[in-house]
Amino acid sequence: MPEIEIYADTAGLARRAADQFSGLAAYAIRKRGRFVVALSGGSTPRAMNALLAAAPLAAQVEWSKVFVFWSDERCFAPENSESNYYMAHETLLSHISIPVGNVHRVQGEHSPEQAARLYEEELRAFFVGLAWPRFDLLLLGMGDDGHTASLFPGSPEVRENTRWAVAVKHNSPPLPLVDRITLTPPVINAAANVTFLVAGAEKADRLRQVLRDPYNPQRQPAQVVRPKDGKLFWLLDEQAAAKIK
Protein backbone atom coordinates (compact mmCIF):
# COMPACT_ATOMS: atom_id res chain seq x y z
CA MET A 1 0.00 0.00 0.00
CA PRO A 2 1.25 3.51 -0.74
CA GLU A 3 2.10 5.85 2.08
CA ILE A 4 0.19 9.12 1.69
CA GLU A 5 1.48 12.20 3.50
CA ILE A 6 -0.25 15.58 3.38
CA TYR A 7 1.43 18.90 4.14
CA ALA A 8 -0.07 22.33 4.70
CA ASP A 9 1.73 23.92 1.78
CA THR A 10 4.36 23.32 -0.88
CA ALA A 11 7.10 24.54 1.44
CA GLY A 12 6.33 21.77 3.92
CA LEU A 13 6.10 19.22 1.12
CA ALA A 14 9.47 20.29 -0.28
CA ARG A 15 11.04 20.11 3.17
CA ARG A 16 9.78 16.56 3.65
CA ALA A 17 11.08 15.56 0.19
CA ALA A 18 14.51 17.05 0.92
CA ASP A 19 14.68 15.33 4.28
CA GLN A 20 13.71 12.01 2.67
CA PHE A 21 16.42 12.46 0.04
CA SER A 22 19.03 13.19 2.70
CA GLY A 23 17.96 10.32 4.94
CA LEU A 24 17.83 7.74 2.16
CA ALA A 25 21.20 8.94 0.88
CA ALA A 26 22.80 8.45 4.29
CA TYR A 27 21.26 4.98 4.62
CA ALA A 28 22.26 3.80 1.13
CA ILE A 29 25.82 5.11 1.43
CA ARG A 30 26.20 3.45 4.81
CA LYS A 31 24.85 0.12 3.52
CA ARG A 32 26.18 -0.02 -0.05
CA GLY A 33 28.64 2.81 -0.48
CA ARG A 34 26.54 4.81 -2.92
CA PHE A 35 23.15 6.49 -3.37
CA VAL A 36 21.49 6.35 -6.79
CA VAL A 37 18.62 8.75 -7.46
CA ALA A 38 16.45 9.60 -10.45
CA LEU A 39 15.36 13.23 -10.39
CA SER A 40 12.17 14.75 -11.76
CA GLY A 41 11.28 18.08 -13.33
CA GLY A 42 8.66 20.48 -12.06
CA SER A 43 8.19 23.27 -9.54
CA THR A 44 8.03 21.14 -6.39
CA PRO A 45 11.35 19.35 -7.12
CA ARG A 46 12.81 22.80 -7.76
CA ALA A 47 11.96 23.78 -4.17
CA MET A 48 13.34 20.48 -2.86
CA ASN A 49 16.57 21.01 -4.80
CA ALA A 50 17.02 24.47 -3.32
CA LEU A 51 16.80 23.03 0.18
CA LEU A 52 19.31 20.29 -0.63
CA ALA A 53 21.71 22.85 -2.06
CA ALA A 54 21.70 25.00 1.09
CA ALA A 55 22.68 24.59 4.73
CA PRO A 56 22.19 22.45 6.66
CA LEU A 57 21.29 19.63 4.22
CA ALA A 58 24.03 20.36 1.67
CA ALA A 59 26.67 19.46 4.24
CA GLN A 60 24.82 16.37 5.44
CA VAL A 61 24.81 14.58 2.08
CA GLU A 62 28.02 12.85 0.97
CA TRP A 63 27.75 14.10 -2.60
CA SER A 64 30.84 12.28 -3.86
CA LYS A 65 28.86 9.04 -3.43
CA VAL A 66 25.62 10.28 -4.98
CA PHE A 67 24.83 9.25 -8.56
CA VAL A 68 22.16 11.21 -10.41
CA PHE A 69 19.88 10.12 -13.24
CA TRP A 70 16.51 11.44 -14.47
CA SER A 71 13.09 9.82 -14.63
CA ASP A 72 12.42 11.60 -17.92
CA GLU A 73 13.69 14.40 -20.11
CA ARG A 74 12.53 16.71 -22.86
CA CYS A 75 14.43 16.68 -26.14
CA PHE A 76 16.33 19.88 -25.58
CA ALA A 77 20.03 20.62 -25.28
CA PRO A 78 21.25 20.75 -21.67
CA GLU A 79 21.59 24.54 -21.73
CA ASN A 80 17.91 24.98 -22.68
CA SER A 81 15.92 26.26 -19.71
CA GLU A 82 13.04 23.90 -20.60
CA SER A 83 15.14 20.79 -19.96
CA ASN A 84 14.88 18.89 -16.68
CA TYR A 85 18.65 18.72 -16.53
CA TYR A 86 18.93 22.50 -16.73
CA MET A 87 16.55 22.96 -13.82
CA ALA A 88 18.46 20.45 -11.69
CA HIS A 89 21.78 22.03 -12.60
CA GLU A 90 20.66 25.56 -11.80
CA THR A 91 18.94 24.69 -8.51
CA LEU A 92 21.14 21.89 -7.15
CA LEU A 93 24.06 20.46 -9.11
CA SER A 94 25.94 23.73 -9.62
CA HIS A 95 25.81 24.41 -5.87
CA ILE A 96 27.22 21.14 -4.53
CA SER A 97 30.49 19.24 -4.77
CA ILE A 98 29.38 16.31 -6.93
CA PRO A 99 31.83 14.76 -9.42
CA VAL A 100 30.93 15.36 -13.05
CA GLY A 101 31.10 11.61 -13.68
CA ASN A 102 28.34 11.01 -11.12
CA VAL A 103 25.80 12.93 -13.20
CA HIS A 104 24.13 10.82 -15.89
CA ARG A 105 21.91 13.15 -17.89
CA VAL A 106 19.71 12.20 -20.82
CA GLN A 107 21.35 13.49 -24.00
CA GLY A 108 18.26 15.29 -25.25
CA GLU A 109 20.18 17.19 -27.92
CA HIS A 110 20.14 14.03 -30.06
CA SER A 111 17.15 12.57 -31.88
CA PRO A 112 14.61 11.05 -29.46
CA GLU A 113 15.40 7.49 -30.53
CA GLN A 114 19.16 7.99 -30.25
CA ALA A 115 18.83 9.74 -26.90
CA ALA A 116 16.72 6.87 -25.54
CA ARG A 117 19.21 4.30 -26.82
CA LEU A 118 22.18 6.13 -25.32
CA TYR A 119 20.39 6.55 -22.00
CA GLU A 120 19.51 2.86 -21.81
CA GLU A 121 23.11 1.95 -22.64
CA GLU A 122 24.31 4.22 -19.84
CA LEU A 123 21.83 2.72 -17.40
CA ARG A 124 22.81 -0.84 -18.30
CA ALA A 125 26.51 -0.03 -17.93
CA PHE A 126 25.90 1.47 -14.49
CA PHE A 127 23.56 -1.26 -13.23
CA VAL A 128 25.62 -4.01 -14.84
CA GLY A 129 24.39 -7.53 -14.21
CA LEU A 130 20.90 -6.54 -13.03
CA ALA A 131 17.69 -7.54 -14.78
CA TRP A 132 16.34 -4.08 -13.97
CA PRO A 133 18.03 -1.01 -12.47
CA ARG A 134 17.61 -0.52 -8.74
CA PHE A 135 17.31 3.15 -7.84
CA ASP A 136 17.50 3.98 -4.15
CA LEU A 137 15.06 6.82 -4.80
CA LEU A 138 13.06 7.65 -7.90
CA LEU A 139 11.17 10.95 -7.88
CA LEU A 140 8.04 11.55 -9.93
CA GLY A 141 5.42 14.20 -10.47
CA MET A 142 1.88 13.86 -11.75
CA GLY A 143 0.25 16.05 -14.38
CA ASP A 144 -3.38 17.11 -14.19
CA ASP A 145 -3.98 14.62 -17.03
CA GLY A 146 -2.67 11.77 -14.86
CA HIS A 147 0.66 11.40 -16.63
CA THR A 148 3.88 10.69 -14.78
CA ALA A 149 7.46 10.83 -16.02
CA SER A 150 6.69 11.03 -19.77
CA LEU A 151 4.07 8.30 -19.71
CA PHE A 152 0.94 9.95 -21.11
CA PRO A 153 -2.68 8.78 -21.34
CA GLY A 154 -3.20 6.43 -24.26
CA SER A 155 0.49 6.17 -25.13
CA PRO A 156 1.97 2.74 -25.97
CA GLU A 157 4.93 3.45 -23.67
CA VAL A 158 2.65 2.80 -20.67
CA ARG A 159 2.61 -0.87 -21.75
CA GLU A 160 6.37 -1.15 -22.40
CA ASN A 161 7.82 -4.13 -20.52
CA THR A 162 11.25 -4.88 -22.02
CA ARG A 163 13.16 -1.66 -22.67
CA TRP A 164 14.60 0.55 -19.92
CA ALA A 165 14.24 3.90 -21.69
CA VAL A 166 12.08 4.88 -24.65
CA ALA A 167 11.41 7.87 -26.88
CA VAL A 168 7.96 9.45 -26.60
CA LYS A 169 6.18 11.45 -29.29
CA HIS A 170 4.43 14.31 -27.52
CA ASN A 171 2.20 16.54 -29.63
CA SER A 172 -0.72 17.36 -27.32
CA PRO A 173 -0.82 19.22 -23.99
CA PRO A 174 0.70 19.54 -21.46
CA LEU A 175 3.29 21.94 -22.78
CA PRO A 176 5.93 22.06 -24.04
CA LEU A 177 5.01 20.08 -27.14
CA VAL A 178 8.37 18.41 -27.63
CA ASP A 179 9.44 14.78 -27.90
CA ARG A 180 10.72 13.19 -24.73
CA ILE A 181 12.64 10.27 -23.26
CA THR A 182 11.27 8.39 -20.28
CA LEU A 183 12.10 5.52 -18.00
CA THR A 184 9.66 2.67 -18.53
CA PRO A 185 7.17 1.21 -16.01
CA PRO A 186 9.30 -1.86 -15.12
CA VAL A 187 12.28 0.39 -14.37
CA ILE A 188 10.20 2.68 -12.19
CA ASN A 189 8.67 -0.27 -10.36
CA ALA A 190 12.08 -1.82 -9.66
CA ALA A 191 13.13 1.13 -7.47
CA ALA A 192 13.60 0.73 -3.72
CA ASN A 193 11.68 3.95 -3.07
CA VAL A 194 9.37 5.83 -5.42
CA THR A 195 8.10 9.23 -4.32
CA PHE A 196 5.43 11.32 -6.01
CA LEU A 197 5.52 15.06 -5.31
CA VAL A 198 2.11 16.55 -6.10
CA ALA A 199 0.95 20.08 -5.30
CA GLY A 200 -1.82 22.43 -6.38
CA ALA A 201 -5.60 22.52 -6.55
CA GLU A 202 -5.55 21.76 -10.29
CA LYS A 203 -4.30 18.25 -9.46
CA ALA A 204 -7.04 17.40 -6.93
CA ASP A 205 -9.61 15.77 -9.22
CA ARG A 206 -7.05 13.72 -11.11
CA LEU A 207 -5.30 12.64 -7.93
CA ARG A 208 -8.58 11.32 -6.56
CA GLN A 209 -9.09 9.33 -9.76
CA VAL A 210 -5.56 7.93 -9.73
CA LEU A 211 -5.80 6.84 -6.10
CA ARG A 212 -9.46 5.77 -5.95
CA ASP A 213 -10.62 4.67 -9.41
CA PRO A 214 -10.22 1.14 -10.81
CA TYR A 215 -6.81 0.32 -12.29
CA ASN A 216 -6.61 1.69 -15.82
CA PRO A 217 -3.10 3.01 -16.55
CA GLN A 218 -3.91 3.73 -20.18
CA ARG A 219 -6.29 6.37 -18.85
CA GLN A 220 -4.40 7.24 -15.65
CA PRO A 221 -0.71 6.44 -16.31
CA ALA A 222 0.33 7.28 -12.74
CA GLN A 223 -1.55 4.13 -11.68
CA VAL A 224 1.12 2.01 -13.38
CA VAL A 225 3.53 2.92 -10.58
CA ARG A 226 3.40 -0.04 -8.21
CA PRO A 227 6.87 -0.92 -6.90
CA LYS A 228 7.39 -4.69 -6.80
CA ASP A 229 9.93 -4.76 -3.99
CA GLY A 230 9.98 -1.20 -2.74
CA LYS A 231 8.02 1.56 -1.09
CA LEU A 232 5.66 4.05 -2.70
CA PHE A 233 5.15 7.51 -1.21
CA TRP A 234 2.69 10.21 -2.21
CA LEU A 235 3.78 13.55 -0.75
CA LEU A 236 0.93 16.02 -1.22
CA ASP A 237 0.00 19.53 -0.25
CA GLU A 238 -3.44 20.33 1.17
CA GLN A 239 -4.76 21.66 -2.14
CA ALA A 240 -3.83 18.57 -4.14
CA ALA A 241 -5.21 16.30 -1.42
CA ALA A 242 -8.54 18.11 -1.07
CA LYS A 243 -10.61 15.42 -2.85
CA ILE A 244 -9.14 12.34 -1.15
CA LYS A 245 -9.71 13.22 2.50
Q: What is the CATH number of the domain that holds 95?
A: 3.40.50.1360
Report if residue 205 sits inside a domain.
Answer: no
Average pLDDT estimate for 63-69: 98
The separation between CA 127 and the C-alpha centre of its own chain, rounded to angstroms, equals 18
d(CA 63, CA 85): 17
pLDDT in tens, 86-135: 999 999 999 999 999 999 999 999 999 999 999 999 999 999 999 999 99
Contacts of 45 (CB under 8 A, 6+ apart): 17, 39, 87, 88, 139, 141, 197
Contact present, 169 and 150 (Cβ < 8 Å): no
pTM of the model: 0.97
Return the pLDDT at 43.
Answer: 86
Report if residue 203 sits inside a domain.
Answer: no
> By CB neighbour count within 10 A (0-12 exposed, 13-18 middle, 19+ buried), where does 108 fall?
buried
Domain limits at 9?
Answer: 3-179+221-236
Domain count, the chain: 1
Report if residue 241 sits inside a domain.
Answer: no
Report if residue 202 sits inside a domain.
Answer: no
